[in-house]
């Protein structure tokens, strides 16, 4: 398939497929507590069979053009990923999200991978509005939304019951023209 370099540090963005189940499960085990602080991501993947089912569900959604998983590999090891949700090319809307194990934090991997994913959604698929939803306490996630040039649309107060707490959810978004401007500014800074 494809492997898109995310810089010169050995990081790559690749499809995350059902045949990656054992690697996906090992990755989740390394980061389950960290990843699961605000969302139950990967909570149903507890053995190779359930990990394969999780990845197959997203492969099926990719085939239906409604969602997709993309893994981030660092030096050949799966360390996180980015995804699309609620992908609707007909209306030009989608949601994006991410996850990362703790050992891979602080390197800009999510920001770099998300730039590739959003660029694809906007330029290849004609998505007009890309949305990011994160718990208000998830500062690293909200910081990525800021770095991507997103605008905070609002807060859905106590909308997410998780871990015995009702979390506020922040909704951020970027529109296609804003994305193009943010990308141009980022490219200008890089040169």
CA-based angle 65:116:13, to the nearest 5? 85
Asked if 35 contacts 91 with a C-beta cutoff of 8 angstroms, the reply is: no
Distance CA 102, CA 99 (A): 10
Q: What is the pLDDT, as a whole number, of residue 1?
A: 60
For residue 45, what pLDDT band results from cuts at 50, 70 and 90? confident
What are the DSSP calls for 20-74, one per residue? GHHHHHHHHHHHHHHHTTTS-TTTT--SHHHHHHHHHHHHHHHHTTS-EEEEEEE
End-to-end CA distance of the chain: 30
Distance CA 58, CA 34 (A): 22
Q: May I ask the CATH architecture of the domain 4-190?
A: 3-Layer(aba) Sandwich (3.40)
3-state secondary structure at position 115 = helix
Q: Is the pLDDT of residue 62 over 90?
A: yes
Distance CA 111, CA 173 (A): 15
Distance CA 115, CA 79 (A): 17
Q: What is the pLDDT, as a whole number, of residue 191?
A: 55
3-state secondary structure at position 113 = helix
Range 150-164 average pLDDT: 94
The domain spans of the chain are 4-190
Q: Is the pLDDT of residue 109 over 90?
A: yes
């Amino acid at each position: 398939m494809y492997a898109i370099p995310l810089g010169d540090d050995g990081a790559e963005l690749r499809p995350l497929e059902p045949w990656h189940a054992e690697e996906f499960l090992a990755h989740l085990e390394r980061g389950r507590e960290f990843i699961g602080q605000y969302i139950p991501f990967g909570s149903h993947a507890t053995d190779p069979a359930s990990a394969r089912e999780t990845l197959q569900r997203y492969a099926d959604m990719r085939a239906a053009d409604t969602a997709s998983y993309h893994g981030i590999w660092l030096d050949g090891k799966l360390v996180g990923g980015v995804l699309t949700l609620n992908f609707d090319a007909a209306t030009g809307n989608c949601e994006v999200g991410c996850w990362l194990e703790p050992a891979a934090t602080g390197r800009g991997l999510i920001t770099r991978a998300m730039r590739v994913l959003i660029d694809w959604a906007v330029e290849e698929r004609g998505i007009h509005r890309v949305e990011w939803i994160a718990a208000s306490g998830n500062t690293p996630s909200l910081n990525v939304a800021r770095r991507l040039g997103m605008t905070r649309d609002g807060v859905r107060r106590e909308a997410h019951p998780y871990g015995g707490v009702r979390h506020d959810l922040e909704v951020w978004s970027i529109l296609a023209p804003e994305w193009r401007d943010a990308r141009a500014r980022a490219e200008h800074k890089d040169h």
